[in-house]
Amino acid sequence: MAASTITPKQALGAAVLSVVINSFTSTFLALIVKTGMDSSVVTCYRLLFVSLVMLPWAFSKKSYRENMKTAPFRIWKLFIFYSFTKFGGFVLWAECLRMGAQAFTMTTLSNMQPIMIVVFLYLFYRETTSLRSLVGIFICLIGVTVIGIDNVTSFGSPFIMTLIVICCSFFALNNIFGRKARQHFDLIPMMGISYFASGVLAAIYASMSGASFAIPKDAILPLLGVSFGCTLIGQSMNMWCLKYIKSVTMSLISLLSPFCAAVSAYFMLGEVPQPIVFLG
């Protein structure tokens, strides 16, 4: 579909659908790490599986190859940052779940991303945000604080919350760098190369840490789900939307994800959030 034919309603509809699909990420990852797979290995397979589909596609058309050749060095720098933050965010997300964070809680706490995006956009690009968005973000901050306090109490240490905050910082930067790079790159080559580059980074990290690359039988189905459902479809759809929707708007739409995550976590993991989490 050509860019000129995309309407705001279509872009918003796609954004909502991507949020629903991506809300299953934590549930699938929780099922995988329960089998004992290392977080970096999960990230490696998740990204490399998707790159097997996207990378050949990225080089299949002359227009895609020309698109990559004509990208200026400034765009390639943004792309490198985008790939690195994707790798870091995915690894930390899986690691937090491995350490015992609930899938629903992880998805809910990820809603601190709009706050970080506003801060980073101002620091890096001096972009400002509307008052209405700031009010929504402030309300979001109150909820995140309530949930965060409950999790620090539950884990007996602020370490898990610190990892979650760093993870959300990676995703916020990934959102910003991705939107800036997306203004030049076509979706297919950008996704194909970034998935492959991030997967290679995860493989190097896993190898250096001595992790096993074996895939337990019980991890196969959720690994396929998070790879081809949440990553290939959900993440790529999210990146497609960033060409037509602002980063802050996308993050505000993502506030819908806890409701979807609560349903999947209840039926697939048996997780029932504490009342204070619902309050947050």
State the DSSP code for 210. Answer: T
State the DSSP code for 225. Answer: I
The model carries a pTM of 0.77
Mean pLDDT of 21-28: 89
- Sign, CA dihedral 263-275-100-206, equals positive
100 phi-psi bin (left φ>0, alpha ψ -120 to 50, beta other): left
Residues whose CB falls within 8 Å of the CB of residue 202, separated by 6 or more in sequence, listed in order: 40, 41, 43, 44, 47, 87, 90, 91
More confident residue, 252 or 176: 176
Structural contact between residues 225 and 28, judged by C-beta atoms closer than 8 angstroms: yes
Which helix (H) or strand (E) element contains residue 35? Answer: none
Structural contact between residues 147 and 277, judged by C-beta atoms closer than 8 angstroms: yes
Q: Which two tokens stand for residue 189?
A: 């080559």
Q: What pLDDT score does 88 carry?
A: 93
Q: How confident is the model at residue 266 (pLDDT cuts 50, 70, 90)?
A: confident
Structural contact between residues 44 and 234, judged by C-beta atoms closer than 8 angstroms: no
Distance of alpha carbon 193 from alpha carbon 171, whole angstroms? 18
Q: How confident is the model at residue 177 (pLDDT cuts 50, 70, 90)?
A: very high
Q: What pLDDT score does 201 carry?
A: 94
